[in-house]
Structure 1
């Protein structure tokens, strides 16, 4: 059933890609360039090549392609997907403008045809002519004007006007799309910013007031984001001098063999009470067990459906729900079932959707990621359909849920309307 569902979704995505590229080819190539021109041929070639690159970027990792090939297709393929989104949105906005302009063009009266006045011929009688016959003098005839080029016929002029308008629209839409994606890429490659949130907890003892947890999720090391990205994140976290570091899933998009060097800077994370890790859904796409062992070697403590008592609260972690397909899903009883409910409980869980189980088990605070805050606007509206909270802090009964937007990006290294973050969650005691 899962394979059939995946195949159905893949077919829908492919069909959508074909339809969108066909529509953009009409608007950006056919409407702007005359048949047979070099521009039209180049645009048509790109209309075939770009979607193929995008599909290759999406499937290369899952298909087990060599890592060098994944890196080769990732940048152009994923970046085109981001440009495609905002180019399509810009062209959709331009469609009503185009319709109004074409309607006005059709209503405009055709220009009057230019009529040449005939050249008069004057007859004269030549003196001394024996017959007295009249002869036309050899008066020079004005040369005929140049033949009107084909582009000057009313139909051709209208076609040229339509192409000029289409080029203007296409240029404006392209500038908007490229500018948006460029700014969003800069935001990701610059590295996440630090966000600070205070969370009051009723059962937290006074001694725990001000305890700071650095929450980082969705780093997404892969064919695009590598070792430099990890180093920026580690440096940013260490500058905040947290009491505890929580890496809440989706660390990688690839195998330990390919991405082990990219994860190496995690070895330098520093916190008074240590660094902890729980799996995300992408770890199960890449081999969760090897990554759990590797992060342990890097000095992080994996919490696989486990709990660790800390001085002021219990810290628990559960596997991601994607692990259920491998028999390694979340087990809340193992992590929380026998704990003392008089103590504060903080739960690390990659996906916000497990909040109901957290409430049922008396968790005071759940820390999650997964949503990326939507990553690419208007993706936040889609994320809201699948997640109880997309970003920020919300309360569910006696349990509070904080969802980070994440420190990296999946697919295109672009964020629009959902800046990346590392959150310092400061615990506040009511007794302080």
Structure 2
């Protein structure tokens, strides 16, 4: 039996627990992970519709199954039997493989997510995790990067303008926010001393959850994961008012269902990664952690699932409350706010750590690192305030100048009188009097 408690001393010690399971147990784990993701997808769709319905004072799904909980299953069956329409100009091989390229990496990314500690399954002791690597978090990022290819290929292979624009926009968006997401977890690697997902969870067993000391990284990750999954208010690749439906406009039936499945599986994956990196993974929160058996057996799967559902609720909450951003605002926020803030945060924390290692006390470290940061924040706030006022003044001047310009198109006079209908005139009836005369209305039905 693997001694999981030893992982508290060495986060990399849990890696020795993997690679010794029999083949049938590996297959059982694979089926379990697949079933978990499919069930979470069905749950997330109904959960989203129910929560948004409550937020908008609507009932939500209530017809299929008890309390409407089988509505997402009915939608999946409907998509499977819908007619499939393939565009004439589509590149058939790429058009067929693009949904698979988007869906398969979304499932593969979950292979290194830890669900719980060492348990006994039919007499065999194994970790509640499919596998792990010394660079397990990078495996998740590699899989998420492969998902971009499916979106770009689907937009190009459709042979239509709007899917192409949606695919290009989505690629730029996902790459931009992957940079912010990658930088946000650099401090997690430095704090934990490992890039293994099970090692990061083991590190948090004897320390505070990373969300507390690394609150800036946690906040940036929360924003970046919304942009990475193309969810509102960052659902610009699927902006109906601009791009009809985005990269999957020309897809229907099961191919569209695969894109739908990939989106929700990615939501579950980034939520599970946030749970693993920042919220202690499968470990119980504080009140429950006082119970001796809270972090042993099968109970940790319950805590892990509850944390994932909490993040999914955040996705739904954002969709029901925030409007969609403009694309230029969205990209500006990613490249000019999140990434510089990430770099400054990494520089500040690593500087503080180096000074502490050299024997500096906490007050001296805060003076050397904290005061320059505060000064930079104040200067940036003053600069941004002056810049905003200058832009507002320029905009007001442009509006005033445009108001003085003559109209660029003919404007009808305000005292225009519409002439009577020729049909009514020929029938001897006028519906509107000419200037200086009174109107005559028919006393009975008009035949004409």
Question: TM-score under structure 2 normalisation?
Answer: 0.22
Question: TM-score under structure 1 normalisation?
Answer: 0.22
Bigger CA radius of gyration: 1
- The structure whose residues are more often helix, as a share, is 2
